[in-house]
Structure 1
Amino acid sequence: MTDTWDHIGFVISSQYRVAVLSRLAEGPATPSQIAEDEEIGIAAVSHALTSLRDRGFVDLLVSEDRRKGRVYGITERGEDLWQEIEQQGLLDE
Protein backbone atom coordinates (compact mmCIF):
# COMPACT_ATOMS: atom_id res chain seq x y z
CA MET A 1 0.00 0.00 0.00
CA THR A 2 2.96 2.34 0.61
CA ASP A 3 3.80 2.08 -3.08
CA THR A 4 0.25 3.02 -3.95
CA TRP A 5 0.44 6.13 -1.79
CA ASP A 6 3.77 7.07 -3.36
CA HIS A 7 2.13 6.84 -6.79
CA ILE A 8 -0.96 8.74 -5.66
CA GLY A 9 1.23 11.48 -4.21
CA PHE A 10 3.18 11.66 -7.46
CA VAL A 11 0.02 12.15 -9.51
CA ILE A 12 -1.88 14.55 -7.25
CA SER A 13 1.17 16.76 -6.65
CA SER A 14 0.77 18.08 -10.21
CA GLN A 15 -2.43 19.59 -11.56
CA TYR A 16 -1.18 18.68 -15.04
CA ARG A 17 -0.69 15.00 -14.23
CA VAL A 18 -4.16 14.96 -12.67
CA ALA A 19 -5.67 16.64 -15.74
CA VAL A 20 -3.93 14.28 -18.19
CA LEU A 21 -4.81 11.11 -16.27
CA SER A 22 -8.39 12.31 -15.80
CA ARG A 23 -8.77 12.97 -19.52
CA LEU A 24 -7.22 9.64 -20.53
CA ALA A 25 -9.51 7.80 -18.09
CA GLU A 26 -12.31 8.91 -20.47
CA GLY A 27 -10.56 7.42 -23.49
CA PRO A 28 -7.43 7.64 -25.70
CA ALA A 29 -6.38 11.08 -26.97
CA THR A 30 -3.60 13.02 -28.65
CA PRO A 31 -1.62 15.59 -26.64
CA SER A 32 -3.36 18.43 -28.50
CA GLN A 33 -6.80 16.95 -27.69
CA ILE A 34 -5.83 16.69 -24.02
CA ALA A 35 -4.54 20.28 -24.00
CA GLU A 36 -7.74 21.54 -25.60
CA ASP A 37 -10.10 19.46 -23.45
CA GLU A 38 -8.34 20.34 -20.20
CA GLU A 39 -7.48 23.93 -21.21
CA ILE A 40 -3.77 23.61 -20.44
CA GLY A 41 -0.65 24.22 -22.51
CA ILE A 42 0.72 21.57 -24.84
CA ALA A 43 4.15 21.72 -23.16
CA ALA A 44 2.58 20.91 -19.77
CA VAL A 45 0.65 18.04 -21.35
CA SER A 46 3.80 16.64 -22.98
CA HIS A 47 5.75 16.83 -19.75
CA ALA A 48 2.92 15.17 -17.79
CA LEU A 49 2.58 12.41 -20.41
CA THR A 50 6.30 11.69 -20.25
CA SER A 51 6.36 11.42 -16.47
CA LEU A 52 3.16 9.32 -16.35
CA ARG A 53 4.47 7.06 -19.10
CA ASP A 54 7.78 6.59 -17.27
CA ARG A 55 5.80 5.22 -14.31
CA GLY A 56 3.61 2.97 -16.46
CA PHE A 57 0.33 4.84 -16.00
CA VAL A 58 -0.12 5.82 -19.65
CA ASP A 59 1.12 4.32 -22.88
CA LEU A 60 1.69 5.41 -26.45
CA LEU A 61 -0.82 3.56 -28.61
CA VAL A 62 0.86 4.21 -31.98
CA SER A 63 4.36 3.62 -33.31
CA GLU A 64 7.19 5.29 -31.41
CA ASP A 65 8.44 6.64 -34.75
CA ARG A 66 5.31 8.67 -35.31
CA ARG A 67 5.71 12.39 -34.65
CA LYS A 68 2.21 13.63 -35.52
CA GLY A 69 -1.02 12.10 -34.30
CA ARG A 70 0.50 10.34 -31.33
CA VAL A 71 -2.35 8.77 -29.40
CA TYR A 72 -2.01 7.98 -25.70
CA GLY A 73 -4.15 5.79 -23.50
CA ILE A 74 -4.33 4.98 -19.82
CA THR A 75 -2.89 1.61 -18.80
CA GLU A 76 -4.63 -0.85 -16.49
CA ARG A 77 -2.20 0.25 -13.79
CA GLY A 78 -3.10 3.89 -14.45
CA GLU A 79 -6.80 3.08 -14.42
CA ASP A 80 -6.47 1.33 -11.04
CA LEU A 81 -4.54 4.27 -9.63
CA TRP A 82 -7.05 6.80 -10.97
CA GLN A 83 -9.95 4.87 -9.42
CA GLU A 84 -8.12 4.81 -6.09
CA ILE A 85 -7.54 8.59 -6.24
CA GLU A 86 -11.22 9.17 -6.95
CA GLN A 87 -12.40 6.73 -4.25
CA GLN A 88 -10.19 8.39 -1.65
CA GLY A 89 -11.66 11.80 -2.57
CA LEU A 90 -8.23 13.29 -3.15
CA LEU A 91 -9.14 15.63 -6.00
CA ASP A 92 -9.78 19.33 -5.49
CA GLU A 93 -12.94 19.85 -7.48
Structure 2
Amino acid sequence: MIELHEVIDSKGKMIMRPKEGGFVIPTRGTHQLQPGGDHIMLIGLTEAVKPGAQIPFTLTLKDGKTVEFTAVGKEFAGGKEDYQPGMGGSDDGEGMDMGESDG
Protein backbone atom coordinates (compact mmCIF):
# COMPACT_ATOMS: atom_id res chain seq x y z
CA MET A 1 0.00 0.00 0.00
CA ILE A 2 1.16 3.54 -0.70
CA GLU A 3 0.12 6.66 1.21
CA LEU A 4 1.07 10.33 0.97
CA HIS A 5 2.18 11.46 4.45
CA GLU A 6 2.76 14.80 6.10
CA VAL A 7 4.64 15.64 9.30
CA ILE A 8 2.94 18.12 11.64
CA ASP A 9 3.49 19.58 15.10
CA SER A 10 0.71 18.34 17.37
CA LYS A 11 0.86 19.70 20.91
CA GLY A 12 4.65 19.97 20.77
CA LYS A 13 5.21 16.51 19.26
CA MET A 14 6.12 15.83 15.66
CA ILE A 15 3.82 13.21 14.16
CA MET A 16 3.38 11.82 10.68
CA ARG A 17 -0.01 10.99 9.26
CA PRO A 18 -1.68 10.39 5.92
CA LYS A 19 -2.16 13.68 4.04
CA GLU A 20 -5.90 13.96 3.55
CA GLY A 21 -6.64 15.20 0.03
CA GLY A 22 -3.01 14.77 -1.10
CA PHE A 23 -0.41 17.46 -1.77
CA VAL A 24 -1.40 20.64 -3.61
CA ILE A 25 1.19 21.59 -6.22
CA PRO A 26 0.67 24.86 -8.10
CA THR A 27 0.77 24.90 -11.90
CA ARG A 28 4.40 24.59 -13.03
CA GLY A 29 5.33 24.38 -9.34
CA THR A 30 7.15 21.82 -7.25
CA HIS A 31 6.64 20.06 -3.94
CA GLN A 32 9.61 18.65 -2.05
CA LEU A 33 9.39 15.16 -0.56
CA GLN A 34 11.90 14.30 2.17
CA PRO A 35 12.44 12.22 5.31
CA GLY A 36 11.00 14.08 8.30
CA GLY A 37 8.67 16.06 6.02
CA ASP A 38 6.13 15.32 3.33
CA HIS A 39 6.85 11.88 1.87
CA ILE A 40 5.48 8.82 0.15
CA MET A 41 5.04 5.96 2.64
CA LEU A 42 5.30 2.38 1.42
CA ILE A 43 3.39 0.06 3.76
CA GLY A 44 3.41 -3.72 3.98
CA LEU A 45 6.42 -4.35 1.75
CA THR A 46 7.42 -7.98 1.35
CA GLU A 47 11.14 -7.10 1.20
CA ALA A 48 13.37 -4.22 2.29
CA VAL A 49 14.14 -1.34 -0.07
CA LYS A 50 17.93 -1.46 -0.33
CA PRO A 51 20.15 1.56 -1.01
CA GLY A 52 20.46 2.04 -4.76
CA ALA A 53 17.22 0.19 -5.56
CA GLN A 54 15.22 1.88 -8.32
CA ILE A 55 11.50 2.03 -7.55
CA PRO A 56 9.12 3.12 -10.34
CA PHE A 57 6.12 5.21 -9.30
CA THR A 58 3.06 6.48 -11.13
CA LEU A 59 1.25 9.31 -9.35
CA THR A 60 -2.33 10.01 -10.37
CA LEU A 61 -3.29 13.69 -10.21
CA LYS A 62 -6.72 15.01 -9.31
CA ASP A 63 -7.55 15.61 -12.98
CA GLY A 64 -6.69 11.99 -13.82
CA LYS A 65 -3.37 12.75 -15.50
CA THR A 66 -0.40 10.68 -14.37
CA VAL A 67 3.23 11.49 -13.60
CA GLU A 68 5.82 8.75 -13.74
CA PHE A 69 9.17 8.86 -11.95
CA THR A 70 11.77 6.56 -10.46
CA ALA A 71 12.84 6.93 -6.83
CA VAL A 72 16.22 5.65 -5.67
CA GLY A 73 16.46 3.85 -2.33
CA LYS A 74 18.81 5.58 0.13
CA GLU A 75 20.30 4.62 3.48
CA PHE A 76 18.10 6.01 6.25
CA ALA A 77 18.03 4.88 9.88
CA GLY A 78 14.66 6.50 10.60
CA GLY A 79 13.66 9.55 12.57
CA LYS A 80 13.23 7.91 16.01
CA GLU A 81 9.60 7.28 15.14
CA ASP A 82 7.32 5.94 17.85
CA TYR A 83 4.83 3.70 16.08
CA GLN A 84 1.45 4.20 17.72
CA PRO A 85 -1.42 1.73 17.36
CA GLY A 86 -4.40 3.17 15.51
CA MET A 87 -2.37 5.75 13.61
CA GLY A 88 -4.48 7.75 11.23
CA GLY A 89 -5.23 11.15 9.80
CA SER A 90 -7.85 12.30 12.30
CA ASP A 91 -8.01 15.90 13.49
CA ASP A 92 -7.16 14.86 17.07
CA GLY A 93 -3.47 14.66 16.13
CA GLU A 94 -3.42 10.88 16.20
CA GLY A 95 -0.58 9.57 14.10
CA MET A 96 2.99 8.34 14.22
CA ASP A 97 5.14 10.11 16.81
CA MET A 98 8.37 11.34 15.24
CA GLY A 99 10.30 11.42 18.56
CA GLU A 100 11.97 14.30 20.32
CA SER A 101 13.57 17.10 18.34
CA ASP A 102 17.29 17.74 18.81
CA GLY A 103 16.98 21.47 18.48
> Given the two structures, how large is their TM-score scaled by the length of structure 2?
0.27
> Given the two structures, how large is their TM-score scaled by the length of structure 1?
0.29
Higher strand share: 2
Higher helix share: 1
